[in-house]
Amino acid sequence: MDIKAVVFDYGKVISFPPEDSALDELAAIAGMSPQALDSLLWPHRAEYDRGTITGKEYYRMLLAAGGVHRDDRALEKMTALDLRSWTHINPGTVKLMEDIRAIPGLKLGILSNMPHEFLALARGTVPVFDLPDRSIFSCEVGYIKPEAAIYRRLLSALGVEPEALVFFDDMQINIDAARSLGIRAFLWKDPETARAELNRLKIPV
């Protein structure tokens, strides 16, 4: 089956990873070591990305898990710093997306776990969010990767069969979930590797 759509994750794919200094600043506000804070960030992230809690609630919850309590002002500072740390865009990925968008009949998409607060910020300040034909964000649909339902929402939104969709993500668990549904999913390395994968699929980018 011919490829009809190419979809990218956002964090660490379209965006660069947050700089180490961001974690250091968050840890300083929390009064924890960077290593201790880092161990708490992702295990508690699911409901924030699902859209059921705010950034303040997320940080209050994860700090409590580490035996730390901070006032609302500190939690707001942590949330704002977290959001800003994800706004550094990889120009190589953007160029690849633009090249895909220029191919007649090929749809472009974003599929990302993302909280409401970051999505609101990004839609106003990150031009790449205007590129896709369709985007599915976890906070808007109530599902998160690697749950099968979010991939099904993506397929429905794009109007394509799984085998006609190429998906790039930086996490193997999300790749495995996509592949289990028949999606042609690839673990992200860099824009050049992704471009080569697409060329092998006869997509001339």
pLDDT at 1: 65
**What is the pLDDT confidence band of residue 148, given thresholds at 50, 70 and 90?**
very high
The total number of residues written for the chain in this structure: 205
pLDDT at 152: 98
Is the dihedral angle over the CA atoms 26, 30, 35, 40 positive or is it negative? Answer: negative
User: How deeply is 41 buried, as exposed, middle or buried, from its count of CB atoms within 10 A (0-12, 13-18, 19+)?
Assistant: middle
pLDDT at 6: 98
Could you give the CA distance from residue 65 to residue 202 in angstroms, rounded to a whole number?
A: 49
pLDDT at 56: 97
* Mean pLDDT for the stretch of residues 77-97: 97
Q: Are 85 and 25 in contact (CB under 8 A)?
A: no
Percent of the chain with pLDDT over 70: 100
Task: Name the pairing type of β-strands 107-112 and 134-137.
Answer: parallel
Q: What is the CA radius of gyration of the chain?
A: 18
pLDDT in tens, 19-69: 999 999 999 999 999 999 999 999 989 999 999 999 999 999 999 999 999
Other CB atoms within a 10 A radius of the CB of residue 112 amount to: 26
Give the DSSP letter string of 139-154.
Answer: HHHT--TT-HHHHHHH
pLDDT, the chain, mean: 97
pLDDT in tens, 89-116: 999 999 999 999 999 999 999 999 999 9
Task: Give the global pTM.
Answer: 0.96
Q: Are 14 and 89 in contact (CB under 8 A)?
A: yes
Could you give the CA distance from residue 113 to residue 138 in angstroms, rounded to a whole number?
A: 5
